[in-house]
């Protein structure tokens, strides 16, 4: 499809996230052939003509948002079923996930994509939970979104229903997946190696998957929660802390994205920083599941060492929502409270993690993550003609502390408008919502995983 040129003109505040972090008032952006061709003051771009012009006078425009850890496939149809005090829902989570059919996964994914793009996410990483990428490809294509996919593999025992293969098969499947998918959708789809975690994979498998990722010049992500108990187990088993173990076997460095990263110690932070390893953190999941951010959250230390961190929303049954603006808000407020120190994780740092730093953490920072000439045109326009945006003095503070993704008005990915004045055009929402509710009923009936629908009498 040919690209139309696009101009967003007279932008109230244009947050470029460029090297100087310039914020341009009365700004303008010109998009040609899917890339940003000019950025500046509206008067500097007065001569620029485009096929379509969007009036930015009431808009705050930011780069598109990155979600570095987002299990998209299973949870929408059963979102919210777990009561608050359900101690460890993970066993149910994986049983539900492994019970999804192809058609169910397609529809759950489609709903996830709507929620993502309508709140400004232009790129997400699904850590291996999509079982039917062939079926979901159409949904990604229709949504116009960028996605990093992989096949989740393990070769060790696990308390959960995870896909387990003999090591050679796990490697072959990963190799096959990357060869088949990497670069599809005009480069919007990337395929990575996705071992579930160091605890569920043998050393040999982790090393082989890293080699596959390196050979294909792509990435590798895995779950990486450590903490006191995991550290002790790891020291007994491998003679190292979990992160030092990964370093000792060579599964670390640029191109390795560690998810969650709660409970890491000073030595592990140093190892991550020195090796150029990147991190995805899910602040809402950490808070909602009581992971103990005051004791285990190390985001400020990682930021201080220059580690590139992407934010994640984990899953619709962890953080429950897929709104990266709310994840920014949580990142910016939870460390102030945890440390009783208002200097922790400023609003600007939260916005960097959702944009330029997130893109860098996901290996896409050269082409994406900021509004600069030559970069791919991924843009989010927030509608400030809403009560939560008033009064407007500091657009970064208003975005991170006042707003949420529901004021996203228009989203551009690769120069194409995918959300236009609050509307997406790739799915019939009322029909899809009914379908997903039905899938949720079927899934609960089929698996027997169900909970009382309310603590209060429901008639
Ligand atoms: Zn995960």
What is the pLDDT averaged over residues 310-327?
Answer: 94
- Give residue 59 CA to ligand 1 midpoint distance, Å: 34
**3-class SS letters over the chain:** CCCCCEEEEEEEEEECCCCCCCEEEEEEEEEECCEEEEEEECCCCCCCCCCEEEECCCEEEEECEEECCECCCCCHHHCCCCCCCCCCCHHHHHHHHHCCCHHHHHHHHHHHHHHHHHCCEEEEECCCCCCCHHHHHHHHHHHCCEEEECCEEECCCCCCCCCECCHHHHHHHHHHHHHHHCCCCCCCEEECEEECECCCCCHHHHHHHHHHHHHCCCCEEEEECCCHHHHHHHHHHHCCCHHHHHHHCCCCCCCEEEEECCCCCHHHHHHHHHHCCEEEECHHHHHHCCCCHHHHCCHHHHHHCCCCEEECCECCCCCCCCCHHHHHHHHHHHHHHHHCCCCCCCHHHHHHHHCHHHHHHCCCCCCCCCCCCCCECCEEEEECCCHHHCCCCCHHHHHHHHCCHHHEEEEEECCEEEEECCECCCCCHHHHHHHHHHHHHHHHHHHCCCCCCCCCCCC
- Measured in Å, residue 340 CA sits from the centre of ligand 1 at 29
- pLDDT value at position 318? 86
Mean pLDDT for the chain overall: 96
Q: Mean pLDDT across the stretch 281-292?
A: 93
Ligand 1 mean position, distance from CA 91 (Å): 13
pLDDT category at 258 given cuts 50, 70, 90 is: very high
pLDDT, one tens digit per residue, over 351-385 is: 999 999 999 999 999 999 999 999 999 999 999 99
Ligand 1 centroid to residue 223 C-alpha, Å:
6
46 pLDDT above the threshold of 80: yes
98 CA → ligand 1 middle, Å = 15
At residue 367, the pLDDT reads 98
Averaged pLDDT, 289-303: 94
Q: How far is the CA of 267 from the centre of ligand 1 (A)?
A: 24
Q: How far is the CA of 289 from the centre of ligand 1 (A)?
A: 13
Separation of CA 127 and ligand 1 centre (Å): 6
Ligand 1 centroid, distance to 318 Cα (angstroms) = 9
- Checking if the pLDDT of 227 tops 90, the result is no
Gap from CA of 192 to ligand 1 centroid (Å): 15
Identify the band that residue 120 occupies on the pLDDT scale cut at 50, 70 and 90: very high
Q: Residues 143-152: what's their mean pLDDT?
A: 97
Ligand 1 centroid – CA 378 distance (Å): 25
Cβ proximity of 156 and 201 under 8 Å: yes
Residue 251 CA to ligand 1 center (angstroms) comes to 18
Per-residue pLDDT at 225: 84
CA of 236 to the centre of ligand 1 (A): 25
Model pLDDT, residue 1: 53
Residue 2 has pLDDT above 70, yes or no: no
The alpha carbon of 184 and the centre of ligand 1 are apart by a number of angstroms equal to 24
Report the separation in Å between the CA atom of 443 and the middle of ligand 1, taken as the mean of its atom positions.
Answer: 21
Q: How far is the CA of 347 from the centre of ligand 1 (A)?
A: 25
Distance 196 CA to ligand 1 centre (A): 8
Q: What percentage of the chain reaches a pLDDT higher than 90?
A: 91
Q: Give 400-434 pLDDT, tens digit per residue.
A: 999 999 999 999 999 999 999 999 989 999 999 99
Overall pTM > 0.85: yes
Ligand 1 centroid, distance to 125 Cα (angstroms): 10
How close is the Cα of 174 to the center of ligand 1, in Å? 18
Strand order in the sheet with 278-281: 220-224, 256-260, 278-281, 309-311
Instruction: Give tens-digit pLDDT for 121-138.
Output: 999 999 999 999 999 999
Please tell me which residue, 4 or 225, carries the higher pLDDT value. 4
Residue 10, pLDDT > 80, answer yes
How remote is the CA of residue 95 from the centroid of ligand 1, in Å? 15
| pLDDT at position 74 | 83
Alpha carbon 391 to chain centroid, angstroms? 30
User: How high is the pLDDT of residue 273?
Assistant: 98
CA of 129 to the centre of ligand 1 (A): 8
* Ligand 1 centre distance from Cα of residue 288 (Å): 15
Distance 197 CA to ligand 1 centre (A): 9
The CA 390 to ligand 1 mean position distance, Å, reads: 36
* CA of residue 18 to ligand 1 center, whole Å: 30
In angstroms, what is the span from residue 119 Cα to ligand 1's centroid?
A: 21
Question: How many angstroms is it from 71 CA to the middle of ligand 1?
Answer: 6
Give 176 Cα–ligand 1 centroid separation in angstroms: 22
CA of 224 to the centre of ligand 1 (A): 9
- Predicted local confidence at residue 187, as pLDDT: 96
- Cβ(348)–Cβ(111) under 8 Å? no
Give 51 Cα–ligand 1 centroid separation in angstroms.
42
Upstream peptide bond of 217 is cis (omega within 30 degrees of 0): no
Looking at per-residue pLDDT, the higher value among 231 and 253 belongs to: 253
Task: Name the band, by pLDDT with cuts 50, 70 and 90, for residue 343.
Answer: very high
Q: How far is the CA of 273 from the centre of ligand 1 (A)?
A: 22
């Amino acid at each position: 499809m040919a690209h139309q040129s696009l101009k967003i003109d007279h932008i109230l505040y244009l947050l470029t996230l460029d090297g100087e972090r310039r914020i341009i008032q009365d700004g303008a952006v010109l998009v040609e052939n899917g890339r940003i061709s000019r950025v500046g003051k509206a008067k500097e771009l007065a001569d620029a003509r485009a096929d379509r012009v969007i009036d930015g006078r009431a808009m705050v425009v930011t780069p598109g948002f990155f979600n570095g850890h987002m299990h998209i496939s299973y949870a929408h149809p059963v979102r919210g079923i777990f009561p608050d005090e359900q101690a460890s829902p993970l066993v149910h989570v994986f049983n539900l996930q492994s019970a999804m059919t192809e058609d169910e996964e397609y529809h759950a994914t489609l709903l996830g994509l709507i929620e993502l793009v309508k709140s400004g996410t232009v790129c997400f990483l699904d850590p291996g939970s999509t079982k039917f990428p062939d079926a979901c490809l159409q949904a990604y294509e229709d949504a116009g979104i960028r996605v990093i996919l992989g096949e989740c593999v393990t070769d060790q025992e696990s308390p959960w229903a995870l896909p387990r293969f003999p090591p050679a098969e796990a490697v072959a499947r990963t190799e096959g997946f990357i060869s088949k998918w990497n670069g599809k959708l005009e480069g919007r789809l990337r395929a990575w190696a996705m071992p579930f975690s160091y605890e569920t994979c043998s050393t040999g498998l982790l090393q082989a998957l890293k080699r596959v990722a390196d050979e294909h010049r792509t990435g590798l992500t895995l779950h990486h929660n450590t903490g006191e108990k995991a550290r002790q187990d790891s020291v007994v088993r491998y003679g190292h802390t979990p992160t030092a173990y990964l370093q000792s076997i060579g599964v670390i460095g640029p191109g390795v994205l560690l998810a969650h990263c709660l409970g890491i110690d000073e030595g592990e932070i140093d190892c991550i920083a020195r090796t150029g390893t990147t991190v995805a953190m899910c602040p809402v999941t950490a808070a909602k599941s009581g992971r103990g951010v005051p004791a285990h959250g190390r985001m400020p230390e990682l930021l201080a060492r220059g580690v590139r961190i992407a934010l994640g929303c984990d899953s619709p049954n962890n953080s429950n929502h897929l709104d990266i603006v709310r994840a920014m808000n949580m990142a910016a407020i939870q460390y102030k409270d945890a440390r009783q120190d208002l200097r922790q994780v400023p609003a600007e740092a939260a916005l960097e993690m959702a944009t330029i730093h997130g893109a860098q953490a996901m290996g896409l920072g050269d082409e994406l993550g900021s509004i600069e000439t030559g970069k791919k045109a991924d843009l989010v326009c927030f509608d400030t003609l809403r009560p939560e945006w008033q009064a407007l003095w500091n657009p970064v503070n208003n975005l991170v502390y006042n707003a949420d993704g529901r004021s996203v008005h228009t989203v551009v990915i690769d120069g194409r408008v995918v959300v236009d004045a609050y509307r997406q055009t790739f799915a019939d929402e009322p029909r899809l919502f009914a379908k997903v509710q039905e899938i949720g009923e079927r899934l609960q009936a089929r698996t027997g995983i169900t909970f009382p629908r309310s603590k209060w009498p429901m008639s």
